[in-house]
Amino acid sequence: MPLLPGVRHALREVVPDVGLALLMLAAGLAMTHWFPEINGISWRGPEATPDRVAGTVVLVVACAGEVLRRVLPLAGVALVAPAVLGGALWVGTTDVVVLLVLADLLYCAVLHTGRRTGRAVAAVGLIGAGTVALGVLLDGSGPVVVSSLINLVLVVVIPVAWAAEVRRHRDVAEAERVRADQAARMVELDRAAAVAAERARMARDLHDVVAGRLSAIALQAEAALQPGVDGDTGRRVLGAVRESGVAALGEMRTLIGLLRDGDTADPPGAPPRLGELEPLLRTARAAGLTVALVDERDPARVPDLPVAVELAGYRILQESLTNAAKHAPGSRVVVEITTPGTELILRVGNGPAAGLRTRLPGTNAGTGLEGLAERARAVGGSCDAGPDGAGGWAVRAVFPLQLVPAEERTVGR
């Protein structure tokens, strides 16, 4: 039957301590046999003869407690402390090895137990040492007092203080490790959030490029396939299809170049701006829409518009025109751009469809309106879309003429 993990761990801890206890026992027996005159503290004066048999029993009991130094240090202290006291009263001496065992067990009891238990052991040890020192001062002679106080400091005070300091450093190291782990987790969470935000931005860009351009191409091709289309109209529609395809390829190439590691062979093109609307409006007209542009921006303020605001406005207009072509083909669309005060307002409104109400497969649902709102929020603006009350649909986006810092946008939500 295999041993339990706890039993295996206890055995791994006990086996080295058994070897240490046997080594201490051998050293104690050697000291008792060959160096009895310097072997420990004599409590009955230098002329007293200690009982070697009783001293050996005390030594064996103390070394037995050494076996428990890491698995049960409190039990080891409870076993050795009476042995030390009994040796002083029964034998009349306390061997050096017994004192070393007591010092080692006090060290382990402070270091390898719980925080409160370690403090209690340290307090009891120091109080006991103080009590013994007081008794020695009251009853002993000069040399006995000095040697006894030195032994108390070496056996009790130093091990307890040392273990407390080692434990403090260990606790500090553990706290630093926990803090480092928390910092690493925070970095990982920040990285995951940044990756998620980048994935969302990439999804919006891909939606604008692929869905917008390809939807326009599909609608233009649908118009070219209508029965009764003359050759000039067909060529014009196919030209618009080619223009949309080339524009989509250009934007896809720019996006892919930005996603690659390192420099690309060709620098990415400049982002589209609201001042470059004619190709976009021409594509919408080729898809069957009647588009009117009302641009009431202050000419003096147009060059100062942030690039991010211009790009967001361009993408929102592009998506709005694509949605109008998909959901209200043949309708009339009015694009209004104004700059009252410190804002830029873009409104795209379309009336009921004037032509055949057909929808292409796969164009009924998506994330277009959500993407419009996200683009507007990304630059500190807002975007609303809904019925205009006259049977049509309107998209209204408001942008600040100066970019709002990300911290203020977060607080304002």
Q: What is the pLDDT of residue 51?
A: 63
Task: Give the domains, in start order, of the chain with CATH numbers.
Answer: 5-184 (no CATH), 274-413 (3.30.565.10)
Q: What is the pLDDT of residue 237?
A: 74
Task: Give the global pTM.
Answer: 0.47
- Express each pLDDT in 66-83 by its tens digit: 888 888 888 888 888 877
Which residues of the chain are under the pLDDT cut of 70?
A: 1-11, 36-52, 88-92, 132, 135-149, 151, 207-212, 223, 229, 254-255, 257-271, 300-304, 352-368, 403-413
- Express each pLDDT in 200-249 by its tens digit: 777 777 766 666 677 777 777 776 777 776 777 777 777 777 777 777 77
Amino acid at 189: L
